[in-house]
A and B are shown apart, each in its own frame.
Chain A
Amino acid sequence: MKSPFGGGNTELRDTRKYVIFAFITTIAIAGVMLAGCTRRVEKPSGGTPTTTTETQKHGRKIAFVMKLIGIPYTNVCEEGMKKAAQELGIDAVFLGPPTGGDTIGQINIIEDQISRGVDAIIISPNDDKAVIPVIKKAMSKGIKVFTWDSDAPKSERIFYVAAADDVGIGVEVIDRVAKDIGGKGKVAVMTGSANALNLSLHVQGVEKGAKKYPGIKLVQPYIYNDDDQQKAIQGAITLLQANPDLAGFACVNSPGVPGAARALIQTGKDKKVVVWGLSIPSENRQYIKDGVVKGLTLWDPGKLTYLTVKLVNDYLDGKKPYNGMSVPGIGVLKVKPNGIIIMPGLIITKENVDQFKF
């Protein structure tokens, strides 16, 4: 007979102790973890005892099912959901497969939530077609299904809450530039690569918006920075040399804004040329404070889930979202006829840049 951990006759007693010790330790660790989880479950919002009582009284349960969980973006989403759930006194859970792109894993989670008998399931599908049957199944059992972050347009979902309108965000950028340059002058367009769908939609938005201003001319060719800060700077400098009378930059990808700012500082044209774009506050904080960059347009993922919880809760109360609806802390919503709800974007300027930590 072999011993499970090697060791011969002489080590018999020691090894046996070791096996028993390891067994007990593992059980103890597992026990502590389960206990920890149990506590979590009793107070899903992690809030005060009052919240827990409210939860029990209200008894409404909703479940968010994300594409995957455990990454910074989804953590911000989860915080926003918890905040709204706490305010409304409802039980909300944030679930998703631990690995990205796991379509079947995501469907299994949705099936479990159907089995759990929640009031609503809010999905960001990994696959917009594969979730159609499971959405149908949930709806047939009286569970209301919504989408957020990403849509399943051909499913029976009630509505979709979108982070941003890809075209709309481009329109917003050119509108801001136009306002700051007085509606006339040459504007450079900076984007990443020509292939990315969301970026080409942003550029479409810039072009669409520019038509409103007859005095504005978009400089050709556009700058393609391939998401590379150095290329963004180089491209902007070259363009500035060719167009000394440039009035503004409209940038639609995140290295574009700081790239244009650097180029302007290097050529001594900062504060003479206006910069607006889609970018991250932390990369542009100083440029915004110095006035080199006028401002940024983007969205806050925490607000997206916050808004979604509020809208879903309203829907369960019989209140449907409508176009032009104003939500405190969010702004005015756009509701399209096909059930797509667009959250207003965030405008970051000198005044509010310090509020955003990301």
Chain B
Amino acid sequence: MRTILRSKESAVFGLFIVVFAIFASMSERFSTPDNLFNVARQYSELAVVTVGLTMVIISGGIDISVGSVVGLSSILVGVLAGGQHMNIWAACGLAVIAGLACGSINGLVITKLRVQPIVATLAMMSAARGLAYILSEARSISGFPQSFVDLGQTSIGPVPLLGFVPISVAIALGLVILGVVILRYTAFGRGIYAVGSSEEAARLSGVDVFRTKMFCYGFTGMLCGLGGVMMAARVASSVPDAGMGFEFEAITAVVMGGSSLKGGEGNIIGTIIGVAVMGILRNGLNLTGVPNTWQVLFLGIMLILAVLADNLRTWLRTSRELQYSAHDHAK
């Protein structure tokens, strides 16, 4: 029990409870299953992307190209299935592969060319968005087959406890479980933490740093590709500016969830609660009719609160330990 309270997720989970309680008391519509699944559907794409981004950040890197790669993937589905008359599922597959390619390029530039992650992914952010605009001639594409649109609109189930779950939410949940298993229960996952803590130490203890980093960026890129496909299915159109501002939301969720931008720390459960906080915050403000310009401000405040709460907890614990050790010395 104590470990749960002390854990990194507790701060962001507390925040989630507070925000949820505030909106539940302000709007009777907010806590209806209908609305909560609406939020879950809207934020399933972000959840998918942050599973990868958490790994990148734990490994001591950063990826700010996530939003642009989502946009590129979304537009590829439209261009290939619409303009090129390709089978819709083949187009989805290619869009995911394109995401994987973008992520792998990020990984290669960072590991082989030794470019700082923020610079390498900044370049990708611009390049992928540019490509999305070029391929689509800056226009949205719609008119997908119903089976594809259903991916973003329909539910499966009944699942025990939850009832009918939207397909996109089920996909996100599956990937979250996969991410948790990789990070927590595999040697490879522990290697990611080791690389983030100290690359040199990791190398000396036999971790393949190149492979670890390539996996983090490549996996993130692939998940962005999947996120773009999911987004195209949800809104039933391919939009070149899809995923605009995603990098901010994704990084906020990861940091809110307790991952350190210095690397070596963090976990996916915290990240997902961070995504949930942002989802209910935006939805709650929309339901209560608060101007959307305020949402940007609230998001910033939430981030500061989460980081401060985390720092406060760590600091109190550290100072207590220091006091004890000072006490021991006095003896």
Interface size on A, as a range, is: 35 or more
Which of B86-94, B213-221, B230-238 lies at the interface with chain A? B230-238
Closest chain A CB from B320 CB (angstroms): 10
Report the bound CA distance from A343 to B294 in whole Å: 32
Report the bound CA distance from A12 to B321 in whole Å: 12
Chain A's closest residue to B311 (CB) is A4
Would you call B308 and A101 a contact (CB within 8 A)? no
Report the bound CA distance from A22 to B312 in whole Å: 10
Would you call B294 and A37 a contact (CB within 8 A)? yes
The interface bits of chain A over 21-35 (1 if a CB of B lies within 8 angstroms of the residue's CB, else 0) are: 011001101100110
Take A16-B316, A23-B308, A23-B312 as given contacts and tell me if A127 and B301 are in contact as well, using a CB distance cutoff of 8 Å. Answer: no
Would you call B140 and A129 a contact (CB within 8 A)? yes
Closest chain B CB from A346 CB (angstroms): 28
A80 within 8 A of B: no
Would you call B142 and A133 a contact (CB within 8 A)? yes
Residue with the greatest number of chain A CB neighbours at <10 A, chosen from B29, B237, B295: B237
- List of A residues within 8 angstroms of B154 by Cβ: none
Would you call B140 and A115 a contact (CB within 8 A)? no
- With beta carbons under 8 angstroms apart, the residue of B27, B231, B291 that contacts A95 is B291
The A1-50 residues at the B interface (CB cut-off 8 A) are 1-5, 9, 12, 15-16, 19-20, 22-23, 26-27, 29-30, 33-34, 37-38, 40-41, 44
- With beta carbons under 8 angstroms apart, the residue of B142, B236, B290, B305 that contacts A27 is B305
- With beta carbons under 8 angstroms apart, the residue of A20, A91, A103, A108 that contacts B239 is A103
Would you call B26 and A115 a contact (CB within 8 A)? no
- With beta carbons under 8 angstroms apart, the residue of A70, A91, A101, A103 that contacts B293 is A70
- List of A residues within 8 angstroms of B319 by Cβ: 12, 16
Would you call B26 and A38 a contact (CB within 8 A)? yes
Take A3-B318, A104-B244, A115-B34 as given contacts and tell me if A97 and B286 are in contact as well, using a CB distance cutoff of 8 Å. Answer: no
Would you call A101 and B241 a contact (CB within 8 A)? yes
A113 within 8 A of B: yes
Take A99-B244, A130-B237 as given contacts and tell me if A23 and B289 are in contact as well, using a CB distance cutoff of 8 Å. Answer: no
Closest chain A CB from B252 CB (angstroms): 15
Would you call A99 and B287 a contact (CB within 8 A)? no
Report the bound CA distance from A44 to B318 in whole Å: 47
B147 within 8 A of A: no
Report the bound CA distance from A102 to B139 in whole Å: 13
Would you call B288 and A104 a contact (CB within 8 A)? no
The interface bits of chain B over 233-262 (1 if a CB of A lies within 8 angstroms of the residue's CB, else 0) are: 001110101111100000000000000000
The interface bits of chain A over 97-113 (1 if a CB of B lies within 8 angstroms of the residue's CB, else 0) are: 11101111101110111
Chain A's closest residue to B243 (CB) is A104
Report the bound CA distance from A113 to B29 in whole Å: 11
The B14-59 residues at the A interface (CB cut-off 8 A) are 22, 26-27, 29, 34-35, 38, 42
- List of A residues within 8 angstroms of B165 by Cβ: none
Would you call B142 and A98 a contact (CB within 8 A)? no
Would you call B295 and A98 a contact (CB within 8 A)? yes
A116 within 8 A of B: yes
Report the bound CA distance from A247 to B293 in whole Å: 50
Report the bound CA distance from A119 to B157 in whole Å: 31
Report the bound CA distance from A41 to B315 in whole Å: 38
Would you call A107 and B235 a contact (CB within 8 A)? yes
B304 within 8 A of A: yes
Report the bound CA distance from A326 to B285 in whole Å: 37
B116 within 8 A of A: no
Chain B's closest residue to A37 (CB) is B290
The B126-184 residues at the A interface (CB cut-off 8 A) are 139-142, 149
Chain B's closest residue to A103 (CB) is B239
Would you call B290 and A108 a contact (CB within 8 A)? no
B297 within 8 A of A: yes
Chain A's closest residue to B45 (CB) is A104
The A107-161 residues at the B interface (CB cut-off 8 A) are 107-109, 111-117, 127, 129-130, 132-134
A96 within 8 A of B: yes
Would you call A104 and B290 a contact (CB within 8 A)? no
Interface size on B, as a range, is: 35 or more
Would you call A4 and B314 a contact (CB within 8 A)? yes
Closest chain B CB from A96 CB (angstroms): 6
Would you call B308 and A115 a contact (CB within 8 A)? no
Chain A's closest residue to B291 (CB) is A69
Report the bound CA distance from A138 to B177 in whole Å: 34
Would you call B311 and A104 a contact (CB within 8 A)? no
- With beta carbons under 8 angstroms apart, the residue of A3, A97, A127 that contacts B140 is A127
- List of A residues within 8 angstroms of B309 by Cβ: 23
A353 within 8 A of B: no
A347 within 8 A of B: no
Would you call B322 and A30 a contact (CB within 8 A)? no
Would you call B311 and A129 a contact (CB within 8 A)? no
The A86-100 residues at the B interface (CB cut-off 8 A) are 91, 93-99
Report the bound CA distance from A65 to B310 in whole Å: 37
Residue with the greatest number of chain A CB neighbours at <10 A, chosen from B22, B235, B290, B316: B235
Closest chain B CB from A338 CB (angstroms): 20
- List of A residues within 8 angstroms of B283 by Cβ: 112, 115
- List of B residues within 8 angstroms of A4 by Cβ: 311, 314-315
Chain B's closest residue to A12 (CB) is B319
Chain A's closest residue to B242 (CB) is A104
- List of A residues within 8 angstroms of B187 by Cβ: none
Residue with the greatest number of chain B CB neighbours at <10 A, chosen from A38, A63, A130: A130
Take A4-B311, A104-B243, A130-B140 as given contacts and tell me if A69 and B304 are in contact as well, using a CB distance cutoff of 8 Å. Answer: no
Those 6 A-B pairs whose CB atoms lie nearest each other, nearest first: A4-B311, A133-B236, A112-B286, A93-B289, A130-B237, A1-B318
Query: 30 A-B contacts, Cβ less than 8 Å apart?
Result: A2-B318, A16-B315, A19-B308, A19-B311, A19-B315, A22-B308, A37-B290, A40-B289, A41-B288, A41-B289, A41-B290, A70-B293, A91-B289, A95-B286, A98-B296, A99-B244, A99-B245, A101-B244, A102-B244, A104-B241, A105-B244, A108-B42, A115-B287, A129-B139, A129-B141, A130-B235, A130-B239, A132-B236, A133-B149, A134-B235
Q: A3-B318, A19-B312, A33-B294 are in contact. List 13 more A-B contacts (CB 8 A).
A: A16-B316, A26-B301, A33-B301, A38-B288, A40-B289, A101-B241, A102-B244, A104-B243, A109-B292, A112-B38, A112-B282, A112-B287, A127-B140
